[in-house]
Every structure is written in C-alpha cells, then in structure tokens.
Amino acid sequence: MPATTSRLEGQVALITGASRGIGRAIALAFAREHAALVLLARSADGLNQTAQQCRQEGSPAVLAIPADVTDEAQVESAFAATARNFGRLDVLVNNAGAFDGGPLDELSSEAWDRVLAVNLRGPFLCTRAALRMMKAARRGRIINIGSISAQRVRPCSAAYSASKHGLWGLTQVTALEGRSYGVTCCCLHPGNVQVERRDTDLPEDQEPMIRPEELAEVAVLMAAQPPHVQFLEAIVMPRDQLYVGRG
C-alpha cells in the first residue's frame, strides 16, 4: 500500500492559547499531521509541556513563545520570530479565550474589558499580523475558535457572547479581504467542551460534553482543505446539547 501523506506536512501553523484545553488539543492534532508549530500562551510552563508533547507526536519543529495576545508589541514580536525561524505562515488558529459571567447589571467594566481584549482584540492583532505575511505569500488560512454563543446566547454571558458575535464578524471581513490574495478565514464554533476551567458543580456543566480532541479533529479538517476551498463555518457540539431554543 502507498504511504499515507500527513495532511499538514510542510505547513507552518501558529496557535494561540496553546498551553491547555482546546489549544493544546489542536496543537497535538496538528503535530500528528506533521505541521511545524509556533505556540503562544501566557503560561510558560504549560506552553513548554505542550511543545514537548508536540515534538513527541511528530511535529518536525516547535517554537514556543510565551506571549499575551492582547499586547500589541508581544504579538508583533511573536510573528516576527515566526518569520525569522520559518520564513512563512500557512495557518493561524486564534484560540486564546476568556470568560467572565454574571448578570449584566452587575458585570464590572474591568471584566467586560478583559474578556473583549482576549476574545476580540487578540484575534484582531494576530489576524492583522498574519495577513501581512499571508497576503505577501498569496496563501494562508485563518481559523477562529468561536462559540455557539455567537448564535444562541445564555443569561449571564454578556461579555463572552458579545465577543464571540464580534469574532464571527471579524471572520467574515477577513474572509472577504483575504479572498483575492489566496487567504481564507473560517470560524469553528464549539458547544460544550470538557476543558480544565469547567467546574462540575455548575449546573450547565452537567450538560453533555465533547472532548477537546474531538473538536481538534475538525480544526485539522479545516486547515487541510485545498487552497481553493473556503470552509467558512462549522458548529461542533454534543449530539444531545440543546441548541435551537437553548437558554
């Protein structure tokens, strides 16, 4: 039988929020497909653990950069390091995220600003930097990790839901502006995912869950599409999770 070609072999992917949860799962899934990786997260310890696991899973090269995606200078430095080390960027995964809940009339402006900074300012800064590289190369794919909260909101999620609605808008503008340069942009909307921050004492966390690894397989599918294929949007959630009429 002929040897199977890895779906992301020869590609360079930058993944934010890669120290845990969905970001780590996507990094490991990309590593198994032999992508070279640039991993960003604020936690150096978690980031280094992910990097080591990615090397063991088959990534030919891993660059781990502790960075805060809300900091413009740190983002620009990370993308400059990507260019120096690899000379290209094929895939950007905007995964870093934050959540802070509570009734809207009790939500602090500090909590609002923090969630919007991580979930929307961060993807903007990373997308801007990636587009500069991708447009020059006339190729590339950007994957934004959204949420079904961009389409079906819940109470006590004003900052998070607003940020994910904004990310879906950013996705569409990026897809439109990148189209004539060979750059695609898509949004992967997870439902309930069993990540580290989940507190099993919360009622909503008794709902059906999927594993980060299951979501990561869809991220690989999005990244591995032929250059002429636009995979604009995907919703991945537990079969039994309420979606239509949720709240």
If we measure between CA atoms, which residue out of 165, 180, 170 comes closest to residue 230?
180
Residue matched to tokens 């992917």? 13
Instruction: Assign 3-class secondary structure to 34-103.
Output: CCEEEEEECCHHHHHHHHHHHHHHCCCCEEEEECCCCCHHHHHHHHHHHHHHHCCCCEEEECCCCCCCCC
Catalytic-labelled residue, pool 30, 79, 86, 160: 160
Structure tokens at 181: 């340069």
| Gap between the Cα atoms of 198 and 64, Å rounded | 26
Question: 160 an active-site residue?
Answer: yes
What are the catalytic residues? 160
